[in-house]
Amino acid sequence: MISALNTLHQWGLKTFDQSPFLIAGPCSAESREQVLATAQAIRHLPVSLFRAGVWKPRTLPETFAGMGNIALSWLQEAKAETGLPIAIEIDHPAHLEEALQADIDVFWIGARTTVNPFAVEELASAFSGVDKPLLIKNPITPDLGAWVAAVDRLRNRGIKKLGVILRGFVNRHPSKWRYEPEWDMVLKFRQIFPDLPYLCDPSHIAGNASMIFDICQQALDLNFHGLMIETHFNPGKALSDAQQQLTPIALEDLLDRLILKNPDFAADTDRNELGRLRQKIDHIDQKLLENLAARMELVQQVGLLKKTKELPVVQPARWDHVLNRVRDFARERGLSEQFLEDIFNRIHQESIRKQQ
């Protein structure tokens, strides 16, 4: 079986070993500062796409409806700064046109749009010929037929890079969830479309940050391939869906706790210690790499400053100071001094090269 994760990879999207495909970012793009701070705070995590709502389909007319076009420029800036490709919701052909001009990478159709055959048909027609991934959320009402028909409409227009997001359905009975996951309906839907990538949006299902982990774990246990998790650098101040957004730290903690059983994620299918430890090592390696990249950027700035002040590139006293700190650290933590010194000498060589 070709895994859906492979499919996502073949579409040009980044996937990570031992990790579900992850879309994270705020419910809405609210300000340049909020978009950039949130993207920066999650870039070291195994995030494949940064999400944010630009035009918000709100149930109540007096609530925040998104910032519109200006938000596209903040998202472009976040992508340039962090390297994270961008996913946004489009509910109208005009949104698509604007978003393509802003070089948005991936799109999704929102739950309030999937439910409407006219709207889906219009979007399908606008999207035919666009060679970018399109994800479709379930219709907001628990109507399997409407969901199937929406996928059919998109496929009939030749849209191939198609995936699905479960975000829950309006409740028919009192429920602890904001929107009911209706797992049984999802299983029926998957029998009809077995080969699509399946993502779960636990944020809208749970409606509350504290319940998101359980939904994520359940989705992964049901072989979902990925997650879309609303994440905000300051959820308490969010202009939409404040209660359900995670902080970047809470997102990292959640990812650390998830247990992956689906063989698509790794060769190792047991809930084993090895897999979990490797997943943690991968996270740490990613942080090491990000830190090295950040260090080299600073080194280049130092290099420019030395040039303007006509200082020599190599300043032995400064390097002695760095190495002494490294040796002290090695002794305190019981690490080999030689090992850390070798690494830092190699970093130093590269820093000098960067400044020349």
Residue 27 interacting with Mn ion (CB under 5 A): yes
- Stretch 111-150: interaction string toward ligand PEP, x if CB under 6 A: xx------------------------x-------------
Compute the distance between CA of residue 212 and CA of residue 69 in angstroms, rounded to an integer.
30
Compute the distance between CA of residue 235 and CA of residue 225 in angstroms, rounded to an integer.
26
From candidates 20, 110, 139, 275, binder to ligand PEP by CB under 6 A: 110
Contact in structure between 227 and 32 (CB atoms under 8 Å)? no
Question: Binding residues for Mn ion, how many (CB under 5 A)?
Answer: 2
Compute the distance between CA of residue 352 and CA of residue 356 in angstroms, rounded to an integer.
6
110's contact among Mn ion, ligand PEP, none, with CB below 5 to 8 A by partner kind, is ligand PEP
Question: Binding residues for ligand PEP, how many (CB under 6 A)?
Answer: 10
The token pair at 266 is 């790794």
DSSP 212-239: HHHHHHHHHHTT--EEEEEB-SSGGG-S
Nearer to Mn ion, 104 or 206 (CB): 206
Cβ-Cβ contacts under 8 Å for 254 (sequence gap 6 or more)? 212, 213, 216, 229, 246
Contact in structure between 317 and 259 (CB atoms under 8 Å)? no
* Closest CB 2 distance from Mn ion, rounded Å: 32
Going from the C-alpha of 33 to that of each of 37, 244, 318, 330, the distances in angstroms are 6, 20, 35, 38
From candidates 44, 79, 132, 167, binder to ligand PEP by CB under 6 A: 167
* Closest CB 51 distance from ligand PEP, rounded Å: 7
Residue in this structure with the two tokens 């970093």, named with its chain if needed: 347
The token pair at 177 is 């969830």
- Name the maximum alpha-carbon separation found in the chain: 74
Compute the distance between CA of residue 157 and CA of residue 124 in angstroms, rounded to an integer.
6
User: Is 89 strand, coil or helix?
Assistant: strand
Nearer to ligand PEP, 51 or 283 (CB): 51
Positions 156 through 215 that interact with Mn ion (CB under 5 A)? none
Give residue number: closest CB to ligand PEP.
110
137's contact among ligand PEP, Mn ion, none, with CB below 5 to 8 A by partner kind, is ligand PEP
Query: Applying CB under 6 A, which part among 67-75, 110-118, 317-325, 326-334 lies near ligand PEP?
Result: 110-118
Positions 32 through 71 that interact with ligand PEP (CB under 6 A)? 53, 57
Positions 177 through 236 that interact with ligand PEP (CB under 6 A)? 204
From candidates 24, 27, 47, 238, binder to ligand PEP by CB under 6 A: 27
Q: Which residues here bind Mn ion, judged by CB under 5 A?
A: 27, 241
Q: Which residues here bind ligand PEP, judged by CB under 6 A?
A: 27, 53, 57, 89, 110-112, 137, 167, 204
